[in-house]
Amino acid sequence: MPKPVQNIIIAGAGGNVGLPILEECLKASLKVSVLTRPGSTSKFPDIVKVFTTDYSPASLALAFQGQDVVLSLLGLSAIGDQQYALIEAAVKAGVKRFFPSEFGLDTASAQVLAAVPPFRVRAELIDTIKAKQAAGSPMEYTAVVAGLFLDWGFFVGFLGLDVEQRTAELWDEGNVPFTATNLSVVARTVVKILTDAAAYEASRNAYIYTGSVTMTQTELLAATEKATDAKFAVTRIESQKLIAESSAKLAGGDFAAMLPLVQAVGFARFHGEALTDLRKYGLFNEKFGITDGSIEEMVATMLKHRFELPYVRYIAPTP
């Protein structure tokens, strides 16, 4: 069966999400090019064609010639202006499908956008693509919602555990279910869409939802204590207090306050709802046969292979 698309260009291919997706695209023999900024420290294998861009229309027009798909995997500080520039250039170049830099919370949810207002730009980007479609553009979109990253979050501490210090911060009772996805599952799912006609069709103009596991913080802590044979010291976060403080700081311009709000959408309830329990949507990766192990198996694997993982450069330079 021919692949639904052949030529892929990735913006942000050297990042946390970019590296595993780039690797998986190459394994699938897709023809991959990357976009990178002048002076960037990102490094790419020789087989990859590299386009340096200042995100000007001219530089993007050159890079997007003949591309079927633009994968935007840009970091959080670049999800606004740079992505509008990518969309404009992609439509002009006749790109078939655009993947915006999502890969996190469910930004199709009004409640999530109310809790983390800077993510409104993500919904606005989708609206921009829809407006272009209404004006005749055939460019489609796929927005990948992955909940929280499991492996990345486990080691950078975003899931509330500090494996080195044997400490844990649990939000309230630590009993809110949230969906988390390993980066390998994110990468395999994206490549499935690019290489399998049914997956390509099923993700046309859609938000798709991925998950390796849905669990509570308490369940993750129990699995980690078992795997490390250690008892972690637990502190409790009062969710309502931290949400109120962080929302006020964010409104006052402190962008860093966004991160606890992202955690809150994972670990706290909003009007009684667990907003990052993505099972209700049906997990796209599972529908297409991409699964992971149990929590216990995944925690054991993460602890065993931690220094081989691509994102280790962000967290632990020496074993």
Ligand X SMILES: NC(=O)c1ccc[n+]([C@@H]2O[C@H](COP(=O)([O-])OP(=O)(O)OC[C@H]3O[C@@H](n4cnc5c(N)ncnc54)[C@H](OP(=O)(O)O)[C@@H]3O)[C@@H](O)[C@H]2O)c1
Q: Under the rule (CB under 6 A), what is the footprint of ligand X?
A: 12, 14-18, 36-37, 40, 42, 73-79, 82, 101-104, 146, 148-149, 152-153
Q: Which amino acid is at 128?
A: T
Give the nearer residue to ligand X in terms of CB position, either 53 or 224. Answer: 53
Give the nearer residue to ligand X in terms of CB position, either 19 or 91. Answer: 19
Half-sphere exposure of 236 (CA within 13 A, CB side): 7
Give the nearer residue to ligand X in terms of CB position, either 17 or 223. Answer: 17
CA 235 to chain centre: 28
Q: Which residue is nearest to ligand X (CB)?
A: 15
Min dist. Cβ of residue 98 to ligand X (A): 14
| Structural contact between residues 145 and 102, judged by C-beta atoms closer than 8 angstroms | yes
Give the nearer residue to ligand X in terms of CB position, either 36 or 246. Answer: 36
Residue 213 and residue 192: Cα distance in Å, rounded?
19
Could you give the strand order of the β-sheet that contains 7-11, starting from the edge strand earlier in sequence? Answer: 49-52, 31-36, 7-11, 69-72, 97-99, 140-145, 206-209
Min dist. Cβ of residue 122 to ligand X (A): 8
Min dist. Cβ of residue 210 to ligand X (A): 10
| Structural contact between residues 161 and 223, judged by C-beta atoms closer than 8 angstroms | no
Please say whether the dihedral angle defined by the alpha carbons of residues 175, 149, 319 and 24, taken in this order, is positive or negative. positive
Structure tokens at 254: 């402190």
Min dist. Cβ of residue 136 to ligand X (A): 28
Min dist. Cβ of residue 113 to ligand X (A): 14
Q: Residue 181: enclosing H or E segment and its boundaries?
A: strand 178-181
Min dist. Cβ of residue 307 to ligand X (A): 19
Give the nearer residue to ligand X in terms of CB position, either 152 or 270. Answer: 152
Give the nearer residue to ligand X in terms of CB position, either 4 or 21. Answer: 21
